[in-house]
Structure formats: C-alpha cells, structure tokens
Amino acid sequence: MFYGNGLIIDKERNRYKKYVSVLFFKVGDWKPLPKISFVAFTKVKGFQTMHAPRTMGASVSLKVDLFCVYLCIDSKNKVLVKKTKHKLEALTLATGAAKYLRVSLNNYIKKD
C-alpha cells in the first residue's frame, strides 16, 4: 500500500500521533495523550460512490454502514481511531485498544 492513515499510542511517553502514511513514511505530530476514560465502538451511515466502467460520468452512491472506534476523554471529547466498512476489524481494534489502555469498551451498536 502506498497511502494510508492511522493512530499510534505511546503509553510510556504519554502521547499519541495521528499520521498519514506515504510509502514507508508516517507523517504526523506527537500530541500529549489525554486521560482516556473509555473506548467507544459505534456504527454510522455513510455513502460509497461506485463508477460504471467504460461510461462517461455514470456513477451511483450507495448507503453503507461504517464502524467507528473512538478514544474518549468524556462523552463529548473523543479522538477517531478508525472508520471502516468491516465490523470485525473495528471490533478487534476497539477491544485491543481498551485492553492496552486498561479502560472499558462501550459498544453502542444495537444487537440484531
């Protein structure tokens, strides 16, 4: 992959970095890590645009579920860690982050 983004948490130095990755370089600034109260896992509606091949400008936008992982300072202040279409990927990340930070995981997705 040539491009991506993410979040690095350094508990020992009490800091975090949101980065953009280009080739093998992760560009971003370290910021002080606030006191994280909990990790949140939630679902939001988003749109995905699909383009038809071999046509001039034909495209369609579809509603999709996006799964989000947040590091939460309190109920209003949070840092987005990841937004993805893959529920299991987001849940695994949220669970791992909560264990790493030794905080609770709040799952705001209603069970089917």
pTM of the model: 0.75
Tens digits of pLDDT across the chain (112 residues): 466 777 888 888 989 888 888 877 888 899 998 899 999 999 998 877 776 676 666 777 778 899 999 999 998 999 888 888 999 999 999 999 999 999 999 999 877 5
On whether the CB atoms of residues 81 and 72 are closer than 8 A, the answer is no
Q: Is 17 exposed, middle or buried (0-12, 13-18, 19+ CB in 10 A)?
A: middle
pLDDT, residue 13, reads: 92
On whether the CB atoms of residues 10 and 29 are closer than 8 A, the answer is no
pLDDT, residue 2, reads: 60
pLDDT, residue 54, reads: 66
pLDDT, residue 1, reads: 47
CA-based torsion, 32, 37, 39, 44: positive or negative: negative
